[in-house]
Each structure stands twice: as C-alpha cells, then as structure tokens.
C-alpha cells in the first residue's frame, strides 16, 4: 500500500518538524512510493507550514526602550521619574501612563520583566537579540526572520517569506541574512503603503516577459561555459521577482484597501500603518514581518540618553495605538492564536537618570512582550527589585526566548541549517523553554 505523502507525522506539539519530515521523505523514497519530486516535497512542506498560520510579527523598538517609562514603572522609587502608573485590563498589573491603549490589551500580552543579557553596547546587543547568537567576528549570524524564511521557503509562492517595514536608525548596526545568503534576505519597505520604485513594472507585461526570455537565453549561454551555479542563483531570484511583480497578491501592500476608520484606529504614524501592513501580509501568507519604531528625533529612536522626560512620551504615543490595535485586529479576525507578536528592543535603560530624564544602556531587567501563537497571555513573568536595579525573580536569557520562538513556530531548536559556506549551524544554541508561556 502506498503511504500518502500528506500523512505527515506530527510531534508532541502537533507540528511536523523539518527533521521528521525529511526522515519520512527518505523512508518513502526507499519504499519507491514517491510520486513527487524532491523540490515538490519541500514546496509542499512549506505550504503546509504556511497553512497552519504559524507566523511571527516582530515589533522592534530600535535603541532600547526604557522599562520605567513603558512596562515596568517603579512608583515610589527614586529612579522612576515623572511617568505615572495606570491600571490595565490585567488585574493588579500597572504600566506607564504613556501607553493607555496598550493598557486595555494587557490581557492579551505575556509580559516578561526580567530579561537579562551581558551586552550593553548597541552593535553587540542588536546582533545578539536579533539572531540569538552572541557576536562572532568569523560568522555573520543571520537575523531570525531569515532563519524563519529559510524554514518556510517556497520558491513557487508569490510573496517573500520575510518582509521588513521601516529602516534601522543606524544602518551599520543592522542585521541581515548573513551566512544564509541573499535568498533569505528580507524584502524591505521603507514606509508602509509605498512599494519601492523598482517593484512596479514600467513596461507592459508582454514586453517584460520578452525581456526575461532574452535574459534566460543569454544565461543559458553563460551556464554552458562554466557559470552554471551563478546562473542558477540568478534565475531563482529572477523567477521569484517575476512572480512577485506580476502577482495579484501585491494588493496586500495597498493600505487604501482598508476602511479609513481602521487605518485611523492603527494611528497615522509610520509605526501604526506598519502594524496594519504587517497584519495584511500575515493574512496573505507571509511568515515573518518586522516593524521598526525609530521615533522622529534624528537617529535617537528609543536610545534616550538625553531629554528622556520629553522624548519617551512621544515615542510611546507613536506606538501605542498601532500595537494595541494590531492585537485587537488579529484577535477579532481569528488570527492571533496562530500569529506570534513580539514587542522588544535590544536592552533597557539604567535606573539612574540625568536631570533631563536621559538614561544610559542597561541589560538587567529589560522588557519583552509576547502575544498570540498559542502562548499563555494575561500574565507577568519575572520581576525586578523595588528600585528596578536588578532581577529579583525568574531571569530570562535571550536564548530562552529563541527556544520559545521555535516552539511556537514549529521549529526544532536542535535542527541545523547549512550556511552558504557549507557550515552547519544549530537554530538555537543553549537556553531553555520559557515554560510559563505554554
């Protein structure tokens, strides 16, 4: 009897992991039961993962948000400053007054107040928190979105698996696809609602197809003279780009398709509209979306070394409606259970502050918020002491966070991927599952 390919065996978390899938693939192949090609199999596996809705949205607070002015105010502490605490929809939990809309959605957030790392330099901390690996001069570790894109890779799908909305405040600190290569790089949108100029075709579709056909013939000549590998890589990118620019799914990038009332609810800020676009993209099948929050003060972003009393309320106002409405919108559409939403930056800010409210870098007791994807929401994990100086309960490390990401997305943290230099790397090295989340 032929064993159907679609009868994938799931693990204890009810997800068919890549390693198990490949094992079944080889078993079936040995039995002579394969009716699809290897490429078809990988496409089908990616399609199955996408159908489960296992997507992730990362809301990135570029610069390191102050825990005192966001999700962990210490009222009565000499280090608190002027920000008052307000009650939330989660009984007994208070957050800073600058996030009133988010306070109404705290029952949909698992708030970690005890994040710890050893990195207090932006460059090193961003590399760690975006990849799950500490910086290594000899290996350019990929950003997590690229790792997810590789896991979900489907060469026949019209849209990229990984989309980034907004720009990092300092380009040299950015993290890209690294050793995974350009195939898994993010598709970058500088501003929600506006596609890059080179996406929309400038000639009729028929003329574009003739040009691509000519390019393919020239590529074939080059391949026959020893350039086959380069031609294959180029053709993959060209074919994917062709599907993208000619696809009706490009409509997902058009925010004018949404009711004006909903666009207003998200907030007419770059971040708010980015959150709306993130929802539309996940709804269409994109597996990983990043939305950057960088504020409006040159390249300062959340890196409030100065004028903290003035800038933190503005920064919070810029993300409050977008964050809260994203959670509410996903929930109302039945998408939140299958979409992990993560709010975080690279670290927090020091308890001690300057006269104007500026705070320095601090990596003890910073904040991460998680929603959806099957995590247990409406709880606070960990704590800092009364002054917010050190973690007093349940420290959480960056690798713990990435193991939990894997659990939500149906990825085995012990699995390895092979870099473009044929070097095997484990998805996550070290850490433990944050068991309170599940």
Q: 224 and 171 share a domain?
A: no
Q: What is the pLDDT of residue 156?
A: 82
| Average pLDDT of the residues in 18-47 | 46
The percent of residues in the chain predicted with pLDDT above 70, rounded, is 81
pTM above 0.75, yes or no: yes
Kindly give, in sequence order, each residue whose CB lies less than 8 Å from that of residue 383, ignoring residues fewer than 6 positions away. 113, 114, 391, 392, 393, 394
Q: 149 and 123 share a domain?
A: yes
Residue pLDDT, tens place only, 183-211: 899 999 999 988 876 676 666 777 877 87
Angle subtended at Cα 138 by Cα 137 and Cα 139, rounded to the nearest 5 degrees: 100
**Is the Cβ–Cβ distance between 419 and 180 less than 8 Å?**
yes
2, with CB counted inside 10 A (0-12, 13-18, 19+), is exposed
Residue pLDDT, tens place only, 293-311: 998 766 789 999 999 999 9
| Average pLDDT of the residues in 171-176 | 92
Which of helix, strand or coil describes residue 270?
Answer: helix
pLDDT band at 20 (very low <50, low <70, confident <90, very high): very low
Among residues 218, 245, 272, the one where a domain terminates is 245
Q: What is the pLDDT of residue 9?
A: 38
Among 48-52, 84-88, 355-359, the least confident range: 48-52
Q: 60 and 141 share a domain?
A: yes
Mean pLDDT of all residues belonging to the chain: 86
Q: 294 and 371 share a domain?
A: yes
Report the relative pairing of strands 364-371 and 339-344 from DSSP bridges. antiparallel
Q: What CATH number is associated with residue 350?
A: 3.40.720
Q: What is the CB neighbour count within 10 angstroms for residue 425? A: 18
**Which of the pair, 48 or 404, is modelled with greater confidence?**
404
Q: 124 and 207 share a domain?
A: no
Q: What is the pLDDT of residue 38?
A: 43
Residue pLDDT, tens place only, 373-424: 999 999 999 999 999 999 999 999 999 999 999 999 999 999 998 876 788 9
Q: What is the pLDDT of residue 3?
A: 31
In whole angstroms, what separates CA 3 from the centre of its chain? 36
Model confidence at 335: pLDDT above 50: yes
Structural element, H or E, at residue 279: helix 270-284
Q: 282 and 306 share a domain?
A: yes
In angstroms, the CA 54 to CA 416 distance is 20
Q: 178 and 277 share a domain?
A: yes
Q: What is the pLDDT of residue 224?
A: 72
Q: 211 and 263 share a domain?
A: no
DSSP states of 294-351: --SSTTTTT--SS-HHHHHHHHHHHHHHHHHHHHHHHHHTT-GGGEEEEEE-S-EEEE
Q: 83 and 131 share a domain?
A: yes
Contacts 24+ apart (CB under 8 A), 17-25: 17/410, 17/411, 17/412, 17/415, 18/45, 18/151, 18/411, 18/412, 18/415, 19/412, 19/415, 21/45
Q: What is the pLDDT of residue 200?
A: 62
Among residues 245, 276, 307, the one where a domain terminates is 245
pLDDT band at 427 (very low <50, low <70, confident <90, very high): very high
Among residues 210, 245, 280, the one where a domain terminates is 245
| Average pLDDT of the residues in 20-39 | 45
Model confidence at 226: pLDDT above 80: no
Model confidence at 164: pLDDT above 70: yes
C-alpha closest to that of 7 among 50, 45, 46: 45
Q: What is the pLDDT of residue 201?
A: 63
pLDDT band at 45 (very low <50, low <70, confident <90, very high): low
Residue pLDDT, tens place only, 49-72: 555 558 999 999 999 999 999 999
Residue pLDDT, tens place only, 230-277: 667 666 666 666 677 767 888 999 999 999 999 999 999 999 999 999
**Is the Cβ–Cβ distance between 110 and 370 less than 8 Å?**
yes
Model confidence at 222: pLDDT above 90: no
Q: Residue 329's domain spans which residues?
A: 54-196+250-437
DSSP states of 119-151: --SHHHHHHHHHHSS--BTTB-PPPHHHHHHHH
Angle subtended at Cα 254 by Cα 249 and Cα 259, rounded to the nearest 5 degrees: 120
423 DSSP assignment: -
Angle subtended at Cα 136 by Cα 134 and Cα 137, rounded to the nearest 5 degrees: 150
In angstroms, the CA 386 to CA 348 distance is 16
Structural domains of the chain, count: 2
pLDDT band at 357 (very low <50, low <70, confident <90, very high): very high
Is 28 within the bounds of a domain? no
Q: 237 and 350 share a domain?
A: no
Highest mean pLDDT among 18-22, 54-58, 213-217, 250-254: 54-58
pLDDT band at 337 (very low <50, low <70, confident <90, very high): very high
Model confidence at 42: pLDDT above 50: no
pLDDT band at 7 (very low <50, low <70, confident <90, very high): very low
Q: 211 and 67 share a domain?
A: no
Among 15-19, 76-80, 423-427, the least confident range: 15-19
Q: 237 and 290 share a domain?
A: no
């Amino acid at each position: 009897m032929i064993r159907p390919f679609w009868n994938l065996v799931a693990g204890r978390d009810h997800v068919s992991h890549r390693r198990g899938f490949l094992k079944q693939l080889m078993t079936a192949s040995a039995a002579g039961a394969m009716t699809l090609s290897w490429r078809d199999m990988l496409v089908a596996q990616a399609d199955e993962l996408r159908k489960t809705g296992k997507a992730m949205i990362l809301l990135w607070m570029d610069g390191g948000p102050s825990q005192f002015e966001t999700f962990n105010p210490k009222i009565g502490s000499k280090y608190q400053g002027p920000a008052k605490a307000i009650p939330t929809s989660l009984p007994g939990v208070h957050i800073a007054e600058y996030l009133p809309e988010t306070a109404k959605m705290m029952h949909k957030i698992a708030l970690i107040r005890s994040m710890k790392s050893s990195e207090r330099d932006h460059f090193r901390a961003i590399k760690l928190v975006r990849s799950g690996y500490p910086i290594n001069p000899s290996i350019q570790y990929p950003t997590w979105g690229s790792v997810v894109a590789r896991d979900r890779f489907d060469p026949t799908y019209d849209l990229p698996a990984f989309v980034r909305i907004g720009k990092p405040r300092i380009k040299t600190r950015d993290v890209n696809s690294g050793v995974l290569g350009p195939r898994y790089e993010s598709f970058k949108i500088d501003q929600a609602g506006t596609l890059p100029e080179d996406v929309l075709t400038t000639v009729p579709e028929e003329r574009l197809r003739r040009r691509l056909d000519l390019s393919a013939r020239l590529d074939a000549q080059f391949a026959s003279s020893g350039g086959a590998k380069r031609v294959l890589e180029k053709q993959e990118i060209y074919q994917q780009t062709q599907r993208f620019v000619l696809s009706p799914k490009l409509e997902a990038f058009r925010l004018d398709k949404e009711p004006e009332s909903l666009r207003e609810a998200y907030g007419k800020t770059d971040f708010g509209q980015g959150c709306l676009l993130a929802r539309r993209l996940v709804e269409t099948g994109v597996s990983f979306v990043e939305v950057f929050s960088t504020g409006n003060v040159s390249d300062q972003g959340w890196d409030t070394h100065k004028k903290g009393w003035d800038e933190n309320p503005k920064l919070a106002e810029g993300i409050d409606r977008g964050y809260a409405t994203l959670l509410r919108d996903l929930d109302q559409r039945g998408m939140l259970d299958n979409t992990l939403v993560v709010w975080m930056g690279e670290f927090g800010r020091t308890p001690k502050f300057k006269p104007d409210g500026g705070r320095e870098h601090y990596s003890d007791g910073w904040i991460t918020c998680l929603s959806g994807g099957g995590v247990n929401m409406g709880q606070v994990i960990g704590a800092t002491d009364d002054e917010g100086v050190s973690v007093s309960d349940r420290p959480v490390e960056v690798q713990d966070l990435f193991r939990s990401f894997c659990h939500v997305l149906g990825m085995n943290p012990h699995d390895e991927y092979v870099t473009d230099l044929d070097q095997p790397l484990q998805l996550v090295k070290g850490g433990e599952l944050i068991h309170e989340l599940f």
